[in-house]
């Protein structure tokens, strides 16, 4: 585990885990509180974890403990660059748009930064060479 991160960014799976009060996220939330760290999420992740049903109540409750980051033009342009680099260097093509936005968001946060995810492969690829770390929840 990373020692005293300042910025903890949740991807969609991590935000869902927080909303469902999963043990792995309880530990990170406690850690954030004890270390005065800030938990963030990109607004784009809301599109992945909400669907307009009653399930959204838990997400809305969880988001109260998270600082949401808007996707402003700088993040959008950086995400496009990250996505283009990833597409050019991979044989297996898939849509990395949302992961690129999450990665670009992570690059704007105060260091040290850790991104929490259940599937770190794409985020680690997108953030290669940066000081941002990824952790599996």
Tens digit of each residue's pLDDT (9 = 90 or more) over 74-103: 999 999 999 999 888 875 667 899 999 999
pLDDT of 1 > 60? The answer is: no
Angle at 99 between CA 66 and CA 122, to 5 degrees: 120
For residue 106, give Cα distances in angstroms to 52, 53, 55.
Answer: 27, 29, 27
Residue with tokens 């600082």: 67
Q: Does 58 sit behind a cis peptide bond, omega within 30 degrees of 0 on the bond before it?
A: no
Lowest mean pLDDT among 3-17, 23-37, 67-81, 83-97: 83-97
pTM over the 0.85 mark:
yes
| Residue whose C-alpha is closest to residue 39's, from 48, 28, 23 | 28
| The two three-digit tokens of residue 44, written as one number | 């784009």
């Amino acid at each position: 585990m990373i020692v005293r991160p300042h910025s903890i960014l949740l991807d969609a799976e991590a935000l869902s885990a927080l909303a469902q009060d999963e043990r792995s996220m309880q530990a990170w939330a406690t850690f954030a509180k004890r270390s005065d760290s800030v938990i963030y999420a990109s607004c784009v992740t809301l599109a992945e974890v909400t669907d307009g049903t009653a399930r959204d109540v838990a997400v809305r409750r969880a988001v109260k403990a998270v600082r949401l980051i808007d996707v402003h033009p700088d993040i959008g342009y950086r995400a496009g660059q990250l996505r283009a680099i990833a597409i050019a260097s991979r044989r297996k093509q898939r849509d990395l748009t949302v992961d690129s936005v999450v990665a670009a968001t992570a690059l704007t946060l105060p260091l040290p930064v850790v991104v929490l995810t259940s599937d770190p492969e794409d985020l680690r690829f997108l953030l290669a060479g940066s000081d941002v770390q990824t952790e599996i929840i």
